[in-house]
Amino acid sequence: MVIQYKCPDCGADMVFDSKTGGLHCNSCGHDEKVDNYTYKDFEPFEEHFHSSTFEGDEVNQYQCNNCGAILLTEKDTTATTCSFCGSPVILGDRLSGALAPSKVIPFTISKNEAEAAFKKWCHKGLLSPADFKKATRIKSITGMYVPFWLYDLNGQGEAIAHCTRVHTHDDGDYIVTKTSHYDVYRRVNLIYKNIPADASEKMPDDLMDKLEPFDYKNMKDFNTPYLAGYISEKYNYTDKEMFPRVKKRAIQYMDNYITESIHGYSTKSIINREYAVGQIKAEYALFPIWMVYYDHEHAEYTFAMNGQTGKITGKPPISYGKVTGSIASLTFILFVICRIVTLLMGGPIL
């Protein structure tokens, strides 16, 4: 089932507009609200949208309603553009049933804003090579909805710690150190909401983790018009498969919580801990991410930008000359400061 949004006024393709948060026709400027479309039932769309599904040998084949070309899609693609006519298409059947996302955070940063922000970010890279800083070699910027699982978790745990309080006082020619020892116990019941874990095989986990946090206040119930004009993929891993990863994270959070709850001591060391993490629920959500592909000295660099907050992650190339230069200049500056302080105290210059 291919979904394409046509302008009711002029019939051109409509795309999701990050500014208005609705569908926008680039030809006549017509705006449509996303709320005007209901997601669950495709039937009422028939009169507005042409959609068709071709069943192949276990693999669906899709055809563009505009030009009739066969859509070249990967098996995970849920939204893309026709490679022949450029029309935005959404593959409805890959977004239904178990594959139906329940939430979506729409893009709030447009492609132009993303490009400008990326260039600015490149320019700020202190240790990047000069020609990278110019950001003239952006190969492509792609708006992508990446599948995430949002977990609500319940963490229960207990820990025993050995803590000390140390007091010292002078007694004649001796320093007396009194160390009071304590056994400290904490039992916690913690609820974590919407811990995200990216469920896409392609996306590097560390890159996605660093894009957090997303602002959940602007999270919407899923609807297909949000995907118009962007690339989207379905999840590769189920919430059960992703659970160990998020559990590990929750345990780390619980450990921090317990450690922070023990205070007022000179030293603290947890000697025994028991944590259990249970899944309350997991929601399938699509998060907006701008993927920036950049060519620099025969290598391709991939950067990701949070399409909602503008936060950028990805390793930029590092200029070893600049690293050496920066270390040398910083060493020199610090050393000069040290010697000036020594000199001011009446010491020798060197």
Partner 1 sequence: MNISNYTSAIRQRMLNNHIEHLTKAFLLVLYKILLSKIMPLCFIISSLFIFVTLLPKQASAETIIQDDANIFSDSAKTEYKTICDNIYKTYDTSIYIWTDNNISGSDNYSYMMEQYVEEHPAANNNIVILLIGMQPNDRIYEVQGYGTAQNTVNNSRAEKLLDDMYSDMKNGNYDDAVMIFCKHTESYMKKNPKFDSIVFNSLLQLAVCFIIAASVIGCTAYNSGGRMTTNSHTYLDNANSGIIGSFDRYTHTTTTRTPKPRDNDSHSGGGGGGGGSSHSSGGGRSF
Q: Helices in the chain by DSSP H: which ranges?
A: 111-124, 130-133, 205-211, 239-261, 320-344
Which region among 16-24, 85-93, 177-185, 236-244 touches partner 1 (by CB under 8 A)? 177-185
Q: 91 vs 258, which CB is nearer to partner 1?
A: 258
The Cα 295–Cα 335 span in angstroms is 39
The Cα 161–Cα 185 span in angstroms is 6
Contact string 24-63 vs partner 1 (x = CB under 8 A) = ----------------------------------------
Give, as one character, the DSSP assignment of residue 227: G
Q: 22 vs 125, which CB is nearer to partner 1?
A: 125
Q: 237 vs 301, which CB is nearer to partner 1?
A: 301
- What one-character-per-residue DSSP string does 27-87 give? TT--EE-GGGS-SS--GGGGGT-----EE-SSSEE-B-TTT-PBP---TTEEEEE-TTT--
CA angle 303, 308, 311 (to 5 degrees): 40
Please tell me whether residue 283 binds partner 1 under the rule CB under 8 A: no
Is residue 240 exposed (0-12), middle (13-18) or buried (19+ Cβ within 10 Å)? Answer: exposed
Please tell me whether residue 158 binds partner 1 under the rule CB under 8 A: yes
Q: 48 vs 322, which CB is nearer to partner 1?
A: 322
Please tell me whether residue 267 binds partner 1 under the rule CB under 8 A: no
Please tell me whether residue 344 binds partner 1 under the rule CB under 8 A: no
- The H helix count followed by the E strand count for the chain is 5, 16
Query: In the set 76, 93, 113, 209, which binds partner 1 (CB under 8 A)?
Result: 209
Q: What is the dihedral of CA 216, 218, 219, 223, to 10 degrees?
A: -170
Please tell me whether residue 271 binds partner 1 under the rule CB under 8 A: no
Query: In the set 68, 182, 221, 276, which binds partner 1 (CB under 8 A)?
Result: 182
Nearest CA to 227 out of 100, 54, 47 is that of 100
The least distance separating partner 1 from the CB of residue 127, rounded to whole angstroms, comes to 5
Query: In the set 163, 197, 277, 285, which binds partner 1 (CB under 8 A)?
Result: 163
* Cα–Cα separations (whole angstroms), residue 304 to 57, 114, 118, 222: 35, 10, 10, 22
Residues paired with residue 316 on neighbouring β-strands, in sequence order:
none
Query: In the set 98, 171, 299, 344, which binds partner 1 (CB under 8 A)?
Result: 171
The Cα 82–Cα 87 span in angstroms is 5
Structure tokens at 276: 């259990």
Give yes or no for a contact between 182 and 72, defined as CB atoms under 8 angstroms apart: no
Query: In the set 261, 266, 269, 272, which binds partner 1 (CB under 8 A)?
Result: 261
Please tell me whether residue 340 binds partner 1 under the rule CB under 8 A: no
Please tell me whether residue 339 binds partner 1 under the rule CB under 8 A: yes
> Which residues, numbered 298-337, are part of the site for partner 1 (CB under 8 A)?
311-316, 318, 323, 326-328, 330-331, 334-335
The least distance separating partner 1 from the CB of residue 129, rounded to whole angstroms, comes to 12
The least distance separating partner 1 from the CB of residue 340, rounded to whole angstroms, comes to 11
Site residues for partner 1 per CB under 8 A: 125-128, 158, 163, 170-171, 173-195, 209-213, 252-254, 256-257, 260-261, 311-316, 318, 323, 326-328, 330-331, 334-335, 338-339, 342, 345-348, 350
